[in-house]
């Protein structure tokens, strides 16, 4: 019989065990994205970026044909990482760019978290490639998007079938926090939740305004 222990599962993400790769959150890529509206997509991308910054997650930012075709990375991401090097590629599969491999190897984390456009091309490519090379792969489904709902859903199913683990942007933030008694990141997590956490953020505003609630205290 198994024994319960007050310890997190090994597949739960921590700030130090993974590399986040944000891929092709760019104007041209978003124009044809129909599986999620642009406002929600930009909000979720901001939430993910802020979570990564707040928890000091190793983060790689990459674009495709930025100058010649696809345009700059979302300001919601760039403003969070203003001095971060953005790797501009020609390859649709991020994992096939040697500079990405160098960055991933230099960081040295065994888990990879992906978010970007489009799900069926620019997320499936690195997800399947990384899994094939022995990495554990997660993808933030609502910080991704595709040219149709069907394209997005088929891509999600394809990645799950080979072992990638889906999650959402708010789930990503709260999984990194996990305990409200972690005071070092508490304020930043609440701030990000209020700004980009939708109805959950409104609930935090209400609770704090009406009866000075404070999680875990």
Residue 140: which of 71, 47, 55, 70 has the closest Cα? 47
| 73: in domain | yes
| 75: in domain | yes
What would the pLDDT profile of 165-179 be if each residue is shown by its tens digit? Answer: 999 999 999 999 999
| 196: in domain | no
Strand-pair partners of 64: 89
Domain count, the chain: 1
C-alpha to C-alpha distance for 186 and 204, rounded to whole angstroms: 13
What would the pLDDT profile of 122-166 be if each residue is shown by its tens digit? Answer: 999 999 999 999 999 999 999 999 999 999 999 999 999 999 999
| 90: in domain | yes
Secondary structure of 28-93 in the HEC alphabet?
HHHHCCCCCCHHHHHHHHHHHHHHHHHCCCEEEEEEECHHHHHCCECHHHHCCCCCCCEEEECCCC
What would the pLDDT profile of 60-84 be if each residue is shown by its tens digit? Answer: 999 998 888 889 999 999 999 999 9
What would the pLDDT profile of 86-131 be if each residue is shown by its tens digit? Answer: 999 999 999 999 999 999 999 999 999 999 999 999 999 999 999 9
| 43: in domain | yes
C-alpha to C-alpha distance for 111 and 161, rounded to whole angstroms: 18
Kindly compute the dihedral angle of the four CA atoms of residues 80, 147, 127, 91, in this order, to the nearest 10 degrees. -80
Q: Name the percent of the chain lying above pLDDT 90.
A: 89
| 128: in domain | yes
| 120: in domain | yes
Q: Name the percent of the chain lying above pLDDT 70.
A: 97
CATH classification of the domain holding 72: 3.40.50.850
pLDDT beyond 80 at 36? yes
pTM reported for the whole predicted model: 0.95
pLDDT beyond 60 at 206? yes
| 33: in domain | yes
Q: Which residues are catalytic?
A: 122
pLDDT beyond 90 at 50? yes
Residue 193 to residues 34, 43, 138, 167, 169, Cα–Cα distance (Å)? 25, 11, 21, 16, 10
- Which domain does 174 fall in, by range? 18-181
């Amino acid at each position: 019989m198994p024994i319960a222990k007050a310890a997190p599962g090994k597949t739960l993400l921590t700030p130090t065990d993974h590399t986040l790769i944000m891929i092709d959150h760019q104007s041209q890529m978003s124009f044809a994205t129909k599986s999620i509206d642009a406002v929600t997509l930009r909000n979720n991308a901001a939430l993910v970026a802020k979570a990564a910054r707040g928890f000091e997650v190793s983060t790689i930012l990459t674009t495709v044909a930025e100058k010649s075709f696809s345009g700059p990375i979302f300001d919601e991401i760039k403003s969070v990482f203003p001095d971060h090097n953005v790797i501009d590629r020609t390859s649709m599969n991020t994992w096939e760019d040697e500079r990405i491999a160098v960055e991933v190897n230099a960081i040295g984390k065994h888990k990879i978290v992906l978010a970007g456009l489009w799900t069926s091309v620019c997320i499936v490519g690195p997800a399947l490639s990384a899994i094939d090379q022995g990495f554990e792969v997660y993808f933030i489904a609502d910080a991704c998007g595709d040219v149709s709902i069907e394209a997005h859903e088929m891509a999600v199913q394809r990645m799950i079938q080979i072992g990638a683990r889906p999650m959402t942007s708010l789930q990503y933030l709260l999984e990194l926090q996990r305990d409200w008694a972690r005071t070092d990141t508490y304020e930043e997590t609440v701030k990000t939740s209020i700004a980009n956490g939708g109805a959950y953020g409104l609930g935090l505003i209400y609770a704090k305004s009406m009866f000075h609630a404070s999680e875990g205290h």
